[in-house]
Amino acid sequence: MEQTIIQELTPRRHHHGKHDVGSLDGFPFQLAQPDDTDFVLAYDWPFGGVIAQLRITTSYGTGLVSVLINDQVVTGLDHVPVSVNARSEHNAEGLNQFRPGDDIILRIESGAPNLLNVRGTLVITNKSILSNQILSPSPWFVPIEIPVTSDLAGQTIIPYSVAPQLKRQPLHIFPATMQKNSTTEDDIIFVNYEPFELNDYTNGWNYIFSGSLVLAQIMRSAFIP
């Protein structure tokens, strides 16, 4: 059998991602006849990012909507107008960053029951993950800082409670480090951390050390919820 070589005549184009832009994604939605209530667009979302824009319209009626991360209204998306057959775009700013485990909510503030076929897209980006916000201080880490007060001095266990309780197990818990009062103090070596309840880190955990804690030292750690 004769073999044929297939050659691409059009030069290949290579697209290089820019580290400071990130990628775009979105939560599309369509509500036939919504009540004035909350609609969850993303429940317990598995990764973090930034809400960039709300694009929304309706086939009938007018009203107001807001976008919330958990119970916090996103800046720039508070009581934005929705009008019939008007493709409106509203930019988010400021308090618009979400983390793993957050709920993203579309709230119909007013207009029901006259709003029909409300539809749109909540545009998100992971730009913050790919740019300078991965540097310290990072919005993805929850820092822990516990001064060794007189009631903790001499102890070998420091309990850390999480309030409110986490929705999921932390993605990672960073080992604790101690800021000592002087270079002559003995090192206190981190040994382990154990949850308050077996296999359940959502309420908090115990940091366990191999030596006694010294007054006025500071324990520092962090976790990714």
SS (H, E, C) 158-197: EEEECCCCCCCCCCEEEEEEEECCCCCCCCCCEEEEEEEE
Tokens representing 55 are 């694009």
CA 215, 141, 128, 76 dihedral sign is negative
Q: Report residue 40 as tokens.
A: 């969850």
Could you give phi then psi for residue 130, rounded to 5 degrees? -95, -5
- Tell me the three state secondary structure of residue 17: coil
19-23, 31-35, 94-98, 197-201: least confidently modelled range: 19-23
What is the tally of helices (H) and strands (E) in the chain? 1, 16
Tell me the C-alpha distance between 146 and 178, whole Å: 10
- pLDDT grade, residue 129 (50/70/90)? very low
- pLDDT tens sequence across 45-97: 877 778 889 999 999 999 999 999 998 999 999 999 999 988 888 988 877 88
CB contact at 8 A, 178 and 188? yes
| Global model pTM greater than 0.95 | no
Domains in the chain, start-ordered, CATH in brackets?
24-133 (2.60.120), 142-224 (no CATH)
Q: Is the dihedral of CA 70, 25, 50, 122 positive or negative?
A: negative
